[in-house]
Structure 1
Amino acid sequence: MCLSLGNVIVGYSVCWSAPVIPKLLDAAQTPLTEVLTVEQASWLAAIFHLFVIIGSQTGAFLSNLVGRKPTLILFGAICLSSHIIRVLARDFNILLAGRIVNGLGVGGIASGNLVYIGEIASSDLRGIMLTVTGVLHTIGGLLVFSLGPYVSYAVVEYTAIALGVTHIGALFLIVETPVYHVIKGNEEAARSTLHFLGRSKDVDKELKTMIENVNRINVKYTQVNSKNMLSNCMLLDILRRRRNRRAMLITATLLTIQEGSGIACILSFATTIFRQAASSVDADVATIILGVTQVFGILLAPILVERYGRKSLLIFSTAACALWTALLGAHFYLELIQHPILYSIRWVPLATLISFLICYNAGLGIIPNVLVGEMFSPNVRSTGSSIAMSISWVAAFLSSLSFGYIIMLIGTYILFIIFACLNIIGCIFTIKFVPETKGKSLSEIEEMLAKR
């Protein structure tokens, strides 16, 4: 619960541009001295994703150096400062700077939360706890979708500031993870933390597994004095060991497909998409409906992920997302040629995006994040997860940035056809390469990756 507001803030920040950019394009609502151009709006939405990479990488380094808890507090403060910058912004450059700082903070929070939960949860609860992060993410998105169209720009930022202050206060209540204590050689602190977390029945087993994993990898953090040497050890271990290479290939590919599915554009430009498609439902109302749909879809994930497993849900989700993005691309093509059938199917954009979000959030939206928390060896978990997520944020950056340029140069329908193709690739990749990790301990997953 103490981590929960961090995930809400991540969702709020990712979806911020959808209701706010229309305000910045409107001379009557913008707080800036000049309204944004379409190109500036694309950069404002996209630059956030690029700087999440730096935040996640920096967070991974610091979490191994000073601990998971202090790192989360630091990046919570960075995220809070970004909203203060944005509420004071009066020109595009300052606003862009605020968005950059926001990306740094969100990167550290998003990757840090996944690592933290992966290290404190038992194997029977880990999947559910990791999927809950996605639920909270969508709640943050729904909050800004519902609030943004009906309040001023300043109120949107003040709400984020209130969330940030509460989040930082809550983080002071959490404990350091037992895995970090083991890495630092403090076995007694790890044992005490496991008892505190209600893991008294399996303390000896879990502690033995953690110690064996760290000793097997033979990386003694307390004996490493050079920061560069520490980073190099972790990167070399990812490249040298088969299980870590496979973990990187699987998680990086799935996270790239996750962002390349079209979700980044849809969440960043939902209101704009509905206006372009001439939807029969008001664009602001349709965006809120999407936010509600996101929450509904992601609430299915904790139930489905433990019942049907990771792999089968991913196959279904990627195939369904391919279908819905292809249909939306077809609708925009009909819009381009002004086909007469459009007058009777103005409801299609909303219906298609609702279906897309339900299918996306039931599988593709959450399972790659679950696998990030499960697949890497303990001492490289922070580094491995941050690298994998960095690759996905590059995909999100390119997806968001391409929106404005592609629709001007080629057409919106081409963009959604590209998304459909990427989803098909994701489906095929899942069938061939992704293992099932349902019900397996972290050590069992490591052994399975080493053998495949």
Structure 2
Amino acid sequence: MSAMGAMFTVGSIMVFSIAPYVSYRVSVYIPLAINVFHLIVLFTIPESPIFYAIQGKRKEMIAVLEDLGRPNDAEKIVSEADDLTETNTSTIKDWKELFMVRSNRKALFIVVIINVLQHGSGVMAVLFFSAAIFDMAGSNIDSNVAMIIIGCCQLMGSAVTPLFIESTGRKNILIISSSVCTISMFTLGLYFYLLFKGFPVVYTVNWLPLVVLILFFIGYDFGLGIIPNTLMGEMFTSNVRSKGSTLTLTTSWLFGFLVSTAFGAFFVTIGGHVAFWFFSGTCACALLFTIFVVPETKGKTLLEIQQSL
């Protein structure tokens, strides 16, 4: 998941760097080439040990575990696969189990809410309208240059996460990330509120929106942009994982689409401060939800996570 976030950011940086200086047709070919490269890389990623165990491919399972530095987990994975194989049922029954089995139902609730809050943070809206934000803020920095700077900071956030995710834990990283996003959006909302009211002090700090957005995107890509998708793969049993993930992503991306669509109208009609404070409130909800509801999945097997749910 961290690699996917980093690749997404690398593609964004390339588009930000080249698109302002080429035609629309060329700017479409660039991400197309990136996607083709991403597809090729995906063929080099091995299947998970649990998949090989379910398929009865013990040799391949052991090879993957050795690559991961977990050769002693072979018997545990085989035992887990046996339990999961017994739960493999028809598609209709899988959908029923998603809602009727308590652990799956609670997992669905957690991942849907945290993914909705992820998209409600305003990341896509801010990314789409960053140039307009800088122009309205009266920034002295060219909007195209500012987007490149933001993209590089996003990449830094994505690159740092894999170094800490196992030692720090998913939950702690998500708490830190949500806190940074909350403070960043609140500060940006305060800036635009003072600009809306005509306070002259804002013209002396017109560099602030760029700094705040840099902090926001670093914080977002450090955890809030990655961990919710990671939880999807860790909290569902294998027979309902595809159903739960589909329902979660559909709901969260629909919410994200609505937020991004409404942002432009809000920004112009009622002021950017209202929109940014809404995003700050959503990030604060993600922070509280993480503290009180989201479980820590670091170092736990699927069965242990299911039992805790």
Equivalent-residue separation in structure 2 for 1:432 and 1:361 (angstroms):
22
Q: Residues 299-346 of structure 1: CA distance to partner in whole angstroms, max 9, x if unpaired?
A: 121122212111122222212211110111111122222221122111
Corresponding position: 1:274 with 2:126? no
5+ residue gaps, structure 1, are: 1-129, 225-229
Q: Residues 244-281 of structure 1: CA distance to partner in whole angstroms, max 9, x if unpaired?
A: 11111111111111111121111222222212222121
Structure 1 counterpart of 2:221, one-letter code: N
Who is 2:84 aligned against? 213
Who is 2:244 aligned against? 384
Structure 2 counterpart of 1:440, one-letter code: K
1:158–1:339 CA distance, 2 compared to 1 (3 A) = same
Equivalent-residue separation in structure 1 for 2:108 and 2:65 (angstroms):
31
Alpha-carbon contact 1:179-1:378 (below 8 Å) kept? no
Corresponding position: 1:154 with 2:47? no
Equivalent-residue separation in structure 1 for 2:46 and 2:143 (angstroms):
44
Equivalent-residue separation in structure 2 for 1:283 and 1:291 (angstroms):
12
Corresponding position: 1:243 with 2:103? yes
Sequence identity (%): 38
Alpha-carbon deviation of 1:290? 0.4
Who is 1:439 aligned against? 299
Equivalent-residue separation in structure 2 for 1:306 and 1:258 (angstroms):
21
Equivalent-residue separation in structure 1 for 2:223 and 2:65 (angstroms):
29
Alpha-carbon contact 2:52-2:61 (below 8 Å) kept? no
Alpha-carbon contact 2:98-2:240 (below 8 Å) kept? yes
Match of 1:197 among 45, 64, 75: 64
Structure 2 counterpart of 1:390, one-letter code: T
Alpha-carbon deviation of 1:170? 4.9
1:151–1:255 CA distance, 2 compared to 1 (3 A) = same
1:171–1:326 CA distance, 2 compared to 1 (3 A) = closer
The 3-state SS of whatever aligns with 1:439 is: coil
CA-based RMSD: 2.1
Q: What does residue range 167-316 of structure 1 map to in structure 2 within 5 Å?
A: 167-171=38-42, 179=50, 187-188=55-56, 190-197=57-64, 199=66, 201=71, 202-215=73-86, 217=87, 219-220=88-89, 224=90, 230=91, 232-316=92-176
Corresponding position: 1:341 with 2:201? yes
1:316–1:172 CA distance, 2 compared to 1 (3 A) = closer
Equivalent-residue separation in structure 1 for 2:108 and 2:237 (angstroms):
11
Q: What does residue range 322-401 of structure 1 map to in structure 2 within 5 Å?
A: 322-401=182-261
Equivalent-residue separation in structure 2 for 1:245 and 1:440 (angstroms):
19
Alpha-carbon deviation of 1:173? 5.6
Alpha-carbon contact 1:177-1:193 (below 8 Å) kept? no
Normalised TM-score (structure 1) = 0.63
Match of 2:5 among 134, 150, 161: 134
Match of 2:181 among 314, 321, 329: 321
Structure 1 counterpart of 2:61, one-letter code: L
Alpha-carbon deviation of 1:191? 2.6
Alpha-carbon deviation of 1:162? 2.4
Equivalent-residue separation in structure 2 for 1:398 and 1:159 (angstroms):
27
Alpha-carbon deviation of 1:168? 4.3
1:165–1:406 CA distance, 2 compared to 1 (3 A) = same
Equivalent-residue separation in structure 2 for 1:235 and 1:203 (angstroms):
30
Equivalent-residue separation in structure 1 for 2:213 and 2:226 (angstroms):
18
Equivalent-residue separation in structure 1 for 2:286 and 2:93 (angstroms):
31
5+ residue gaps, structure 2, are: none
Corresponding position: 1:143 with 2:14? yes
Alpha-carbon contact 1:304-1:362 (below 8 Å) kept? no
The 3-state SS of whatever aligns with 1:437 is: coil
Aligned length: 305
Equivalent-residue separation in structure 1 for 2:165 and 2:47 (angstroms):
27
The 3-state SS of whatever aligns with 2:188 is: helix
Alpha-carbon deviation of 1:418? 0.6
Equivalent-residue separation in structure 1 for 2:259 and 2:112 (angstroms):
16
Q: Residues 49-94 of structure 1: CA distance to partner in whole angstroms, max 9, x if unpaired?
A: xxxxxxxxxxxxxxxxxxxxxxxxxxxxxxxxxxxxxxxxxxxxxx
Alpha-carbon deviation of 1:175? 6.0
Alpha-carbon deviation of 1:443? 1.8
Equivalent-residue separation in structure 2 for 1:387 and 1:152 (angstroms):
37
Normalised TM-score (structure 2) = 0.91
The 3-state SS of whatever aligns with 1:197 is: helix
